[in-house]
Amino acid sequence: MAAITAGLVKDLREKTGAGMMDCKKALTENDGDIEQAIDWLRKKGLAAAAKKSGRVAAEGLVGVASAPGKAAVVEVNAETDFVARNETFQAFVQEVAKIALDVGESIDAISAHAFPGTGRTVAEELTHLVATIGENMNLRRVRVLSVPQGVVATYVHSALKPGLGKIGVLAALEGPGESATLEILGRQVGMHVAAARPEALDVDFVDPAALEREKAVLTEQARASGKPEAIIEKMVEGRIRKYYEEVVLLEQVWVHDGESRVKAVVKKAGLKLSGFARFQLGEGIEKPKEDFAAEVAKTAGG
């Protein structure tokens, strides 16, 4: 029997998009003949994923999972919103979020982890789903937060079912207190984050490049007023403070009362807000513009 090398498995995987274990089995069953192995995978419906891997996947679901002192949020993409209503896909997203709690934020580590009850890895189960459901899918991103004392609360906006939706938020609150009470405040913070879309936890975490761009724009705007440089500098400082109030979570106005600052609400509760994560489904993915007339003409052979 021909030796089934790692390189041979890799070649078959690249040609078919099938999982590593499926490729190894296909080669074993076909004495290392890669073409016969491809046919074997096609017959099993495991090579169909390769044809779909280039299609844009910007729909899907955001899922959250939590444990004492820890929570995870994941985004798994598909091509259409229809897949989000598929119970098998929903179960996959829920399970991946739970796995992330144990494995951490590494997509490679999660992908290599065993998917319960299947005998496949997470990556192989995803390939199986692609072949079964008929759409390109991918595990896009993961975030896991933990606290030594306190809670990491979760919030899903307009949840399709518990823990699944299109916007998922984690809010890490550190400090003493009843977990139920902390969860309530954490959920309120999560709702605030979902609505206010902060970019950084505090001033120190603002992206330096984004801050410099903002300063450059504000400086030019101030210079257009014709005022002296000393006055312009003070104008920019004031506007940067306003910028912080827009993008920094702790500096934002608390959406629940419209007047307090988030930092004041957290301080009053005797807690520390040590981190947050906000995943909105498909954000940052460039979707192709559809030309309906061209599509019709193509279908008609025009």
Question: Both 64 and 186 in a single domain?
Answer: yes
Question: Both 220 and 97 in a single domain?
Answer: no
Question: Both 115 and 223 in a single domain?
Answer: no
Burial zone of 255 (CB within 10 Å; 0-12 exposed, 13-18 middle, 19+ buried): middle
Question: Both 122 and 268 in a single domain?
Answer: yes
Distance CA 109, CA 99 (A): 10
Identify the CA nearest to 273 among candidates 255, 251, 242: 251
Question: Both 74 and 143 in a single domain?
Answer: yes
Distance CA 277, CA 283 (A): 14
CATH of the domain at 199: 3.30.479.20
pLDDT at 294: 54
pLDDT at 247: 92
286 inside domain = no
CATH of the domain at 243: 1.10.286
187 inside domain = yes
Question: Both 180 and 77 in a single domain?
Answer: yes
Question: Both 127 and 181 in a single domain?
Answer: yes
- Around Cβ 100, how many Cβ atoms within 10 Å? 28
243 inside domain = yes
pLDDT at 57: 61
What domain range is 46 assigned to?
Answer: 6-52
Q: Cβ(275)–Cβ(172) under 8 Å?
A: yes
Distance CA 296, CA 275 (A): 49
pLDDT at 56: 56
pLDDT at 299: 45
pLDDT at 292: 46
* Count, residues in the chain: 302
pTM for the whole thing? 0.75
Distance CA 241, CA 96 (A): 40
Question: Both 105 and 196 in a single domain?
Answer: yes
91: alpha, beta or left, given left = phi > 0 and alpha = psi -120 to 50? Answer: alpha
For 299, phi then psi, to 5°, come to -60, -40
Question: Both 229 and 256 in a single domain?
Answer: no
CATH of the domain at 26: 1.10.8.10
Amino acid letter for position 85? R
3-state class (DSSP) for residue 59? strand
Question: Both 71 and 123 in a single domain?
Answer: yes
110 inside domain = yes
Tens of pLDDT along the chain (302 residues) come to 678 888 888 888 777 767 778 888 889 989 888 888 887 877 666 655 555 555 656 799 999 999 999 999 999 999 888 899 999 999 999 999 999 999 999 999 999 999 999 999 999 999 889 888 888 899 999 999 999 999 999 999 989 999 999 999 999 999 998 888 899 999 999 999 999 999 999 999 998 888 888 888 888 888 887 778 888 888 888 888 888 999 999 999 999 999 999 999 999 999 999 999 999 998 887 665 555 455 445 545 54
| Total of domains in the chain | 3
Distance CA 23, CA 1 (A): 16
Question: Both 118 and 87 in a single domain?
Answer: yes
pLDDT at 48: 53
pLDDT at 300: 53
